[in-house]
Amino acid sequence: MPQLTLSEIYIYPIKSLGGISVTSAPAEERGLKYDRRFLLVDENNMFMTQRDFPEMALLKLSFYENGFKVLNTKDGSHIVLPFKSDSNENISVKIWEDICGAVRVSQDVDVWFSTAIDKKCSLVYMSDDEKRIVEKKYLNENHIVSFADAYPYLIIGQSSLDDLNTKLEKPLPMNRFRPNFVFTGGTPYEEDNWKDFRINNVDFMAVKPCARCVITTTNQDTAERTAEPLKTLSLYRKINTKVMFGMNVICKNNGTVSVGDRIFLY
């Protein structure tokens, strides 16, 4: 059996904004540390993503002192955020079918983001005591999740992307699919059939293939959209009406994962 190796790790501190590539990260039940703990919401406190606002892709994140720097690549402006918000302005926000407690970061931060994406919005943070439960349809257990769509982790095999790219006129980078984990070794789409697996000292469980949306058609550097890869994926990766690519995963215990770690299936 080919060796499976964790080759890339990504966190997305603010849902639907640019990700950060890291070489090592603490894995927690809610997701990788810092992953999708912040969220932009509209005036009705409804969550916002690149599905409706592709220009969110142009806001890139990096680590900066004791927090994150958000760079607006359109005009070079930036803002710095702490790892956690100490605001006490509690609000309720809606993400898909869930109503979650969150804290609004600050009015100044709201002004900056509203200007950056030309839409009035607020930045909110999920505190440690908020317990949003993962989608129950495929998992009869109470696992928690951040502001990610439904599950704490997404893993994709490099072989899967390589296979897709052989079918496209122009190959696409992995960032179109916004995974937390990328692995090398194995065969295309083998993650579809995974159950339990371990990376370093952390046990994970694959729950279901990930249904893909229009965000995959968004160039993460320009915010431009085309028909691909959904057009091609729909020809051979469709289950019922949904296009699948990558695997949704939960974490069973806390630990640390690093690029280069072996992945063991069991």
Q: What is the pLDDT of residues 95-148, one digit of tens each?
A: 999 999 999 999 999 999 999 999 999 999 999 999 999 988 888 788 999 999
Quick check: 8 and 175 in contact, CB under 8 A?
Answer: no
Which is it for strands 78-82 and 24-28: parallel, antiparallel or unpaired? unpaired
Confidence band, pLDDT 50/70/90 cuts, at residue 1? low
Q: Residue 240: which domain range?
A: 4-265
Total number of domains constituting the chain: 1
In this prediction, what percent of the chain has a pLDDT beyond 90? 96
CA distance 251 to 202: 7
User: Which three-class secondary structure state does DSSP give residue 55?
Assistant: helix
Would you state the structure tokens that stand for residue 243, as one six-digit string? 């296009």
Q: If you ran DSSP here, which 8-state letter would residue 29 be given?
A: T
| pLDDT at residue 141, rounded to an integer | 80
Give, in degrees to the nearest 5, the angle at Cα 10 between 73 and 123: 55
**What is the tens place of the pLDDT at every residue in 44-97?**
999 999 999 999 999 999 999 999 999 999 999 999 999 999 899 999 999 999
Looking at residue 94, which CATH number applies to its domain? Answer: 2.40.33.20
Angle ∠(26,32,34) on CA atoms, nearest 5: 100
pLDDT over 70 percentage in the chain: 100
Per-residue confidence (pLDDT) for residue 140, from 0 to 100: 76
Which one, of 93, 75, 74, lies nearest residue 15 by Cα? 93
Q: Indicate the DSSP class of residue 85.
A: -
